[in-house]
Amino acid sequence: MKKITQLVLAVLVLGSQLAFAQTEKKDVNLRDLWTNYTLYPKTVSGIISLNNGKQYTEIKHGSIVVYDYATGDSVTTLVNGKELVPEGKKTAIHIGNFSVNKAETKFIFPTQTEQIYRHSRISYDYIWDTQTKKLTPLSDKGKQRLADFSPDGTKVAFVRDNNIFIKDLQTGVEKQITFDGKKNNIINGTCDWVYEEEFSFTKAFFWSPDGQKIAFYHFDESKVKQYTLPFYHGSKSAYPEEYTYKYPVAGEDNSVVQVYTYDLASGKTVKMDVGSNADQYIPRIKWTSNPDKLTIERLNRLQNHLDILVADASTGMTKTIYTEDNKYYIDITDDLTFLPDGKRFLMTSEKGGYNAIYLCSMESKKEKQLTKGNWDVTKVYGYNPQRKLVYFQAAKTSPLDRDILAVNLRGKIRQISTKTGTNAGNFSKSFDYYINTWSDANTPPYTTVNNYNGKIIRVLQDNWAFVKKMQGYNLSKQTFFTLHSPEFKLPDGKQVDLNAWIIKPPHFDPDKKYPVLMYVYGGPGIQTVNNSWGWSNYFWFQMLAEKGIVVISVDNRGTGARGELFKKMTYLQLGKYEIADQMEAARLIGKFPYVDSTRIGIFGWSYGGFMASLAITKGANIFSTAVAVAPVTNWRFYDNIYTERYMRTPKENPEGYKENSPLQYVKNMKGHYLLMFGSGDDNVHPINSMTMISTLVDKNKPFEMMVYPNKNHGIYGGNTRYFLYHKMTDFLLKNLK
């Protein structure tokens, strides 16, 4: 009997242990995040609407498959990846990014792609003809950039060595149409570094609608000062390789930019009249539906005056059809949309206090505001001429969320998306359907096919398996709250609250005192407090919470989706109001009953690194610990388009540059500071960190530092990200716990 009882007890204990083992959750670890990459949800790739507007492509199992929007049926395999074997090779090329001609019979597939800067790449391109089943190199004379089919699909234009070429696919003839391209001197058909980084484009040539002309940018960067970065390849040479390129810092000369058109029939190149002032910007050009009319956006150096010009593509003569002035600055977008009637266009502007859609006339100064209210339009998807509806994304429900809506030309708005969180639409060519990718702060991307009214037709990717995986981890819900203080005021005196989110430890005890890590970016128009999936940082913050650190992020004044005044009040004083808000937020958070106010840290990257550096110096009495990755430390060191947009030039605003630099406050520092950067950062140059280091040494302030040789602003590649996050984690646990 005793033995039976012992046996029963053993079984019960074992059973309870098994049950506990089945429900026991595990902690996030950096290897899963940055080495094994197992904490990434699935995404849907290669989605392009076909011209009929009823079908779309998706990359499946290495091939391009066509699906029906309405039924979800697999209609055909447009490109069988196994067939893409180059002549003389045994293995097929990989399908990643691709473009297709208008007839949907020819494809461009980039291979052996190398990244240049943030948006620019260079590749060996292949042309695949679905009718002849032939795969041919676009060119055998070197790698290409920005290859683009002509509207009739018979030609491909591309850039190589700063010049533009046209390949005739019928004859095989490759023709060069510009000849003055030269590294660090003249650029045709693509951008210089600062345009690419700050106006967010790199393709700078465009076929006319009839394919008879190409409009292109011409950059003369001969007067722009050079910047040299050393790259260390000790296995190859004891001497560093030097990379030199043109980088204009605040107050310095820019490229002189001109716009030309090239006529394929005559071979004639015509210069467009963009005005006599060479010290200006041309942030966008775009063909109208008329193949003889090209629009050119012209922005002054201070970026507070915008003209839209219409150019005669044959003569170069221009006239102004739109003008806008702003007391602060004007943000450039891709929202300019021409209506089929050739007489009207849509654009967005903040001139009414919030970013709104306007219907404008090309023939007069008449305009009509279509969207009204205290909320910002964040993206225009396009115009459906049959329904006479403009589809767009906006922060209408809340600055934290993104909705998809439609507005007619009379200004009547219709809500399309139905789920609270972040909705991003990819519309069909006919605007009958769209593919919506939705997420919120605690839910990974959920991708559906919807009709034009927002009704879900079917689910493409629910990430259910990933959600189940998340349930096996010790995760805490990320929740939102607001902070209130008399300090949070706009220039008009209006009181505002700041939006924030928080992640508490999974076994939170309200009677304990916890350290806090604040995550910040804080720069103009950018939010960290979004009701959207946070990708890798979400899991890193969860890992820190598992180790007993409360993680919080606060959107200071100057961030986005809350109107023009909230965003632009930091004008001429980058850093002043932002760090004041983070300091006040930290004071308020320090009063939470479960927070140890003596252990408040902050982490940020890039602009966030600038903020973290200000926090540990100017906010030395509040913040005990700071991690600054790739920080700006003085705006005199950063590029002129970005910096002057918000600060004007150092000559015009010397005090604004000086008083808002963390270098000014190093003498106050008394906490723990970790500074990290890549030696090959082409964006925020190492001089920022090097100057900070010199100042810290001069003021006898101890700090920790990590330099990543040859790494750019993203600091990634190989084991780098794991190493970086491991270093930050160890530093925070040592100094906050």
Q: Each residue of 105-130: pLDDT tens digit?
A: 999 999 999 999 999 999 999 999 99
Rounded percentage of the chain residues whose pLDDT exceeds 70: 97
Helix (H, G, I), strand (E, B) or coil at 417: coil
* Residue 7 confidence (pLDDT) above 60: no
Closest Cα partner for 146 from 190, 183, 114, 102?
190
> Which residues have a Cβ under 8 Å from the Cβ of 234 and sit 6 or more positions away?
none
Q: What is the pTM of this model?
A: 0.95
Closest Cα partner for 466 from 412, 386, 539, 373?
539
Look at residue 638 in the predicted model and tell me its pLDDT. Answer: 98
Q: Is the four-CA dihedral 539, 540, 544, 550 of positive or negative sign?
A: negative
Kind and range of the H or E element at 698? helix 686-698
Following DSSP, what letter does each residue of 475-488 receive, concatenated? ----EEEEE--TT-
* Residue 666 confidence (pLDDT) above 60: yes
Over the stretch 182-226, which tens digit does the pLDDT of each residue have? 999 999 999 999 999 999 999 999 999 999 999 999 999 999 999
* Residue 723 confidence (pLDDT) above 70: yes
Q: Any idea which residue has 């010790």 for tokens?
A: 474
Q: Is the four-CA dihedral 653, 654, 656, 662 of positive or negative sign?
A: positive
Over the stretch 363-409, which tens digit does the pLDDT of each residue have? 988 999 999 999 999 999 999 999 999 999 999 999 999 999 999 99
Over the stretch 322-347, which tens digit does the pLDDT of each residue have? 999 999 999 999 999 999 999 999 99
Measured CA to CA, the distance from residue 544 to residue 276 in angstroms comes to: 56
Report how many helices (DSSP H) and strands (DSSP E) the chain contains, helices first: 12, 43
Which token pair is 462?
């629910």
Measured CA to CA, the distance from residue 636 to residue 314 in angstroms comes to: 42
Measured CA to CA, the distance from residue 292 to residue 311 in angstroms comes to: 8
Rounded percentage of the chain residues whose pLDDT exceeds 90: 95
Helix (H, G, I), strand (E, B) or coil at 401: coil
Mean pLDDT computed over every residue of the chain = 95
Look at residue 9 in the predicted model and tell me its pLDDT. Answer: 35
The answer to whether the CB of 117 falls within 8 A of the CB of 199 is: no
* Residue 8 confidence (pLDDT) above 90: no
Over the stretch 588-598, which tens digit does the pLDDT of each residue have? 999 999 999 99
